Amino acid sequence: MGSIAWKQLLLNALESNTHLKHVSYMQLATVGTNGKPSNRTVVFRGFQDNTDNILINTDTRTRKIEELKLCSSAEICWYFTDSWEQFRINGHVDIIDGTNPDPLKLQQREKSWFASSLRSRSQYLWPNPGLPCLNEQAQIEIMLDPSVGPVDAFCLLVLEPDQVDYLNLKSNQRLTFRSSLTDAANKSWIVERVNP
């Protein structure tokens, strides 16, 4: 029940704020390699098929990959400006790059690659993110064959939620959703109304 409830709240928020350009942008916080918080904005790429797992595309060469390999715990914070709703989604992140041995995960990675625009895909051919820029000239136009599968730098992150904190500032409603495993190793959710 809880998973359906928080996911439906999120889908409703996405729908009611769909006219805003920034509706798919959320913040992803990880534990930095120095033990300090590390935060950045990422793009929501949808839910993994038949789950409540959240999909995020990223570059394998970014700092967040190194951080997630050391500690897979992460949290998303998402604020919807028109409906005044905030979602904080905590969980563990699975990194799916081209070396992943699971064929089903590689298939999901490829599906996410082809669901992205050509412009977005071409960014994975740019020089390494975060390194000093050696060329002061304008970036070279990169040509990418639209039929070619994911490049090595493309990575799919799958966040499996463990806890969701939902806050609606218009109605002063706050709900927390916590997951637990049942005896049959299925995930179930407990929802609790808490003070805002």
Q: What is the pLDDT of residue 1?
A: 47
Q: What is the pLDDT of residue 114?
A: 97
- Does the pTM surpass 0.85? The reply is yes
CA torsion sign, 39 to 43 to 46 to 48?
negative
Q: What is the mean pLDDT of residues 60-80?
A: 97
Please answer whether residues 187 and 177 qualify as being in contact, where contact means their C-beta atoms are separated by less than 8 angstroms. Answer: no
Q: What is the pLDDT of residue 113?
A: 97
Give the start-to-end residue ranges of the domains of the chain.
Answer: 2-129+141-194
Distance separating alpha carbons of residues 112 and 42, to the nearest angstrom:
14
Residue 19: pLDDT band (50, 70, 90) is: very high
Q: What is the pLDDT of residue 79?
A: 97
Q: What is the pLDDT of residue 83?
A: 95
Q: What is the pLDDT of residues 84-139, one digit of tens each?
A: 999 999 999 999 999 999 999 999 999 999 999 998 999 998 888 888 877 665 56
Q: Alpha helix (H) ranges present in the chain?
A: 2-16, 63-70, 103-115, 118-122
Distance separating alpha carbons of residues 66 and 55, to the nearest angstrom:
18
Please answer whether residues 31 and 73 qualify as being in contact, where contact means their C-beta atoms are separated by less than 8 angstroms. Answer: yes
Q: What is the pLDDT of residues 131-182, one digit of tens each?
A: 887 766 556 667 788 899 999 999 999 999 999 999 999 999 999 999 988 7
Q: What is the pLDDT of residue 141?
A: 67
> 174: Cβ–Cβ under 8 A, 6 or more apart, which residues?
165, 166, 167, 168, 193, 194, 195, 196
Architecture of domain 2-129+141-194: Roll (2.30)
Q: What is the pLDDT of residue 139?
A: 60
Q: Which residue has the higher pLDDT, 138 or 73?
A: 73
